[in-house]
Amino acid sequence: MDKQKQIIEMFDQIAPTYDSANRILSLGIDVAWRREACKKAFEYFGENKPSVILDVACGTGDMILHWEKNAKKFQKDFGKIIGIDPSSGMLEVAQEKLKNQLKSRKAELLLGEAKNLRGIENQSVDILSIAYGLRNVVDVKEALSEFARVLKKGGVLVVLEFTKKEKENFLDKIAGFYTRNILPLIGGLVSKNYKAYKYLPDSIDGFLTSSMLTQELSKLGIHTRFIKAYSANISTLLIGVKQ
């Protein structure tokens, strides 16, 4: 079995406990990170109403709910939001959480991978988000190329991720100790799957730095307009605009 399929199977296994584990492991701070991502995306999108928001690696649908909530808060109503994820287990949880949105057709869920956004037409997306899912994509460059393909000119890319540090400072070392030693233990207890949560710090170590990600996006015509690390550099928010 190839690496990407192994990662997808892992998420299928932890899907039932994924949300509760996330809240415990992040102490709820990830809610603030997601809210800030929505706020900044709407700022850089401008005055127009986004017709289509695409949430890639949508998992259990958390980011979709944040988009809906913050669109109302910032008076940025959107036409439709599409969530796409390769894990059928995660989508099953999302379908239950988003049953009202799916019924009203304000939301749609698709099974698919970031590197192959089949069913999404060229230049059809106003805002594309991927929250803590990019490092789980084996073919990152292919995924970024797909993002550039489906984004409209002037479209906004939102990346929330645990990026690899350029150079570790004292706070980074403390955060690293937590993710490498404490997080797998707690995540393993909640999910009964220690291996899955041991994978998280390993995936961060093998991922791109913020500057590397910025460079790859620039090659595709997506210029980084905002980048900031939050909560002792644990989480990074990047906002890019397609030229």
- Known binding site for S-adenosyl-L-methionine: residues? 60, 85
Q: Which helix (H) or strand (E) holds 92?
A: helix 88-97
* CA separation, residue 202 to residues 9, 15, 42, 212 (Å): 17, 20, 32, 18
Alpha carbons 9 and 12: distance in angstroms, whole number: 5
Q: Look up tokens 């994820």; give the residue.
A: 85
Annotated binding site: 60, 85
Burial of 77 (0-12, 13-18, 19+ CB in 10 A): exposed
115 phi, psi to nearest 5 deg: -80, -10
End-to-end CA distance of the chain: 38
User: Do the Cβ atoms of 31 and 131 come closer than 8 Å?
Assistant: no
**How many angstroms separate the CA atoms of 172 and 175, rounded?**
5
